[in-house]
Amino acid sequence: MKALLSTATGGPETLVLGDLPDPVAGKGQVVVAVKACSINFPDTLIIEDRYQFKPPRPFAPGGEIAGIIESIGEGVTGFAVGDRVLAGCGNGGLSEKIVLGTHNLYKMPDEMSFEEGASLLMTYGTSAHALKDRGRMKPGESVLVLGGAGGIGISAIELAKAYGGRVVAGVSSEAKARVAREAGADDVVIYPYQPFDKDQSKAVAEMFKAAAGPNGFDIVYDTVGGDYSEPALRSIAWEGRFLVVGFPAGIAKLPLNLTLLKSCDVCGVFWGAYTAREPEKNRANINELFELYKAGKIKPRVSETFPLERGGEAIAKLGNREAVGKLVVTM
C-alpha cells in the first residue's frame, strides 16, 4: 500500500511517498481502507520528534481518518466489513490502509462525508471534552476562543453556542473574522501578530476586556499560546477557567499572580490521553456530537483537500498558520 512516510526527523519537506506492507487485523482489530485523513497540529510536531509520542520510523503521520472497514480480526463485535467509520489513530492515517483497535472507532452517520468524518474527532472531541469536562461550561456563560478560524477554533465556537454560551473569537485577520462569524461567533477581536512588548500586550488585553464586558470571560479557550495567552488571561472572569489546548504560537508563560487575583483555574486539556483513560465518557461525548451534527448545530468546515502525494503541503500550510477550517488528504 502507498503511504506518506517520515523517514528522517524534519519538516514536511522530508516526507516521501513510499510503500508499506498491507496491514492484517489481529485479535480485537479491524483494517480500514482510508478514504480521508485530516491534518492537525500534532502532525507538524510528530515528524520533528517534538510530540509527546515518538513512533519508530518509517511511519506515516495523520491522527484521524475516515474510511470503510475492509477486514475484521478475532473478537471484534459491533462492527462489520463494509461499515463506514471514523477513528482517531495517533499516527498512520496518511496511508491507504490502517489497522486499528475499536476503542476510538465509530460508525459514521449516513449523512456525513468521509472528509467531514475525518475532521470531527480531534477537533470537536477535544472541544467537547474541554468545554464540558474541563471548563464545566453552563448555559449563559461567555467564552473567548483564541484561534477562532482554525479547525479546532471553529469546533469550539460551534459547541459553545450549542451549549448556550456567548462566544467571542480571537483571530488575526478580517478574512478569518468572517469565518469565525459564519461559525456562529457573537463578536470578533482581530489581534495583531506577535511578538508583543509590554505596551502591545496591554493593548491586546484591553481589546479582549472590551469584548468581554465588565464581568470578563467565564472561559478562555486557548488554542494559540505564545504572547496571546497572558492578555487573554487578563480578561478572564472571577473564578473563570483558562483552558490550555495548544500552542502553535509557542508555549506561554503565565504570571501566576493573575490566577490568584481572579481566583481562576488554569486547566490542561489532553484529549488524546482522556480517550484512553475514560473511553466510555469519551464515547458518550462523541455520540452527542453525532446528534448535534444531525441537528445541524455543528458541521466540520473542510476548506481544502489534497491528494496523498501532496500531504506534506497540507502539513506545511497548517504549521505556517495559513489554514482556515480543516485541511484534508483524500486517498
Residue 161: all three cell numbers together: 453556542
**pLDDT tens-place string over residues 159-182:** 999 999 999 999 999 999 999 999
User: What per-residue confidence (pLDDT) applies to 325?
Assistant: 81
User: What per-residue confidence (pLDDT) applies to 322?
Assistant: 82
User: What per-residue confidence (pLDDT) applies to 198?
Assistant: 94
Scan for cell 479582549, then name that residue.
208
Q: Are 254 and 229 in contact (CB under 8 A)?
A: yes
Best CA proximity match to 224, nearest among 172, 185, 178, 168: 172
* Concatenated DSSP letters of 145-202: EETTTBHHHHHHHHHHHHTT-EEEEEESSHHHHHHHHHTT-SEEEEPPPSP--HHHHH
User: What per-residue confidence (pLDDT) applies to 170?
Assistant: 98
130, 131, 133, 139 alpha-carbon torsion, rounded to 10°: 180
All structural domains of the chain with their residue ranges: 2-120+300-330, 122-271
- Could you tell me which CATH number the domain at 122-271 has? 3.40.50.720
User: What per-residue confidence (pLDDT) applies to 52?
Assistant: 81
Best CA proximity match to 235, nearest among 163, 161, 153, 145: 145
Q: Are 218 and 131 in contact (CB under 8 A)?
A: no
Best CA proximity match to 280, nearest among 119, 104, 128, 133: 104
Scan for cell 466540520, then name that residue.
300
User: What per-residue confidence (pLDDT) applies to 39?
Assistant: 96
Per-residue pLDDT of the chain (331 residues; tens, 9 = 90+): 999 999 999 999 999 999 999 999 999 999 999 999 999 989 999 999 998 889 999 999 999 999 999 999 999 999 999 999 999 998 999 999 999 999 889 999 999 999 999 999 999 999 999 999 999 999 999 999 999 998 899 999 999 999 999 999 999 999 999 999 999 999 999 999 999 999 999 999 999 999 999 999 999 999 999 999 999 999 999 999 999 999 888 999 999 999 999 999 999 999 989 998 999 999 999 999 999 999 999 999 999 999 999 999 999 999 887 887 899 999 9
Q: Which CATH superfamily is domain 2-120+300-330 in?
A: Medium-chain alcohol dehydrogenases, catalytic domain (3.90.180.10)
User: What per-residue confidence (pLDDT) applies to 127?
Assistant: 97
User: What per-residue confidence (pLDDT) applies to 129?
Assistant: 98
User: What per-residue confidence (pLDDT) applies to 126?
Assistant: 95
Percentage of the chain modeled with pLDDT above 70? 100
The 8-class DSSP code of residue 59 comes to B
